[in-house]
Structure 1
Amino acid sequence: MKQDEPIVDMITRFTDIINGHNGLDRKFTNGEFVSKMLRSLSKYWNSLRMLIENTKDVNSYLLEELYETLMTYELNNAETKEKTKRSKEEMKEPPKRQIVLKSTNDEGSSNTNMSDEELDNVVLLVKK
């Protein structure tokens, strides 16, 4: 299995291989296919692989049931994987800077004391 490959793509490739073997009159049992499929899973699938190998009889476990289990596992863990990825990206981002302007409230003063250039700079700061 390729890294970050969707399980559906792997199942498609595996099915093509099975069909090729059947075309060559090479017969494997369902248990052999299940064992080969489990062995070809990447490290991401280790926990599920161990669970299946320890709780199911691999020789009587149907290949279709394995496909369903793998697809369900991937769907359930896709959201968790995405959340983890987003949190890692957020940790890499530098904190955003905030600009604080000191405000004074003098009734007698007005913006006419500022030059046009200073007023433009203040406007730019406020817009940012």
Structure 2
Amino acid sequence: MITRFTDIINGLKDFDRKFTNGELVSKMLRSLSKDWNSLRMLIDNIKDVNTYPLEELYGTLMTYELNNTKTKEKTRRNKEKMKEPPKWKIVLKSTNDEGSSNTNMSDEELDDLVLLVKK
């Protein structure tokens, strides 16, 4: 965005259009999307736009974007984790009766148990 803004301003300078620093800072702030409203309002209220250096504004915008990107990525990862189904753990009680057999279990129940253990 900064490169594009600079290209447009340089193109206008070729047509003998001169801009003050305050005009450039104001134009840059107005061109920001709604996602940047909080930063725009902060700069408007705290800094004097007419004396705020354009290079410092560029640095502020880049820093804000980096921090905002990290925050959005962290939020996205947290949402994905919340969407994952819970990982259920099954605990089976083990008994070791010598001499007993699995005759009290049907073949169908044994097959289900084998499938459960394989999972």
TM-score w.r.t. length of structure 2: 0.75
Instruction: Give the letter for the 2:37 counterpart.
Output: N
CA distance in 2, matches of 1:123, 1:15: 69
Matched, 1:12 2:11: no
Task: Map residues 28-39 of structure 1 onto 2, 5 A cutoff.
Answer: 28-39=19-30
Question: Is 1:50 equivalent to 2:37 in the alignment?
Answer: no
1:7 paired residue number? none
- 1:23, 1:108 → 2: CA distance? 99
Match of 2:51, as an amino acid?
Answer: S
Structure 1: segments with no counterpart, 5+ residues: 1-9, 112-117
The AA in structure 2 aligned to 1:14 is F
Which of 104, 107, 112 is the equivalent residue of 2:98? 107
Matched AA of 1:85:
R
Cα drift, residue 120 of structure 1: 8.8
Residue 125 of structure 1: how far off its partner (Å)? 4.4
Q: Relative to structure 1, is the Cα distance of residues 109 and 59 closer, same or farther in structure 2, using a 3 angstrom cutoff?
A: same
Equivalent of 2:75, from 84, 90, 96? Answer: 84
Render the CA deviation track for 1:15-72: whole Å, top value 9, x for unaligned.
1211221222222222111111111112221111111001111111111010011112
Q: How many residues align?
A: 119
Q: Greater shift after overlay, 97-106 or 35-44?
A: 97-106
Determine what percentage of the aligned residue pairs are the same residue: 82
CA distance in 2: counterparts of 1:55 and 1:28, whole angstroms: 22
**Quick one: which amino acid aligns to residue 103 of structure 1?**
S
Residue type at the aligned position of 1:72: T
| Larger-Rg structure | 2
Partner of residue 106, structure 2: none
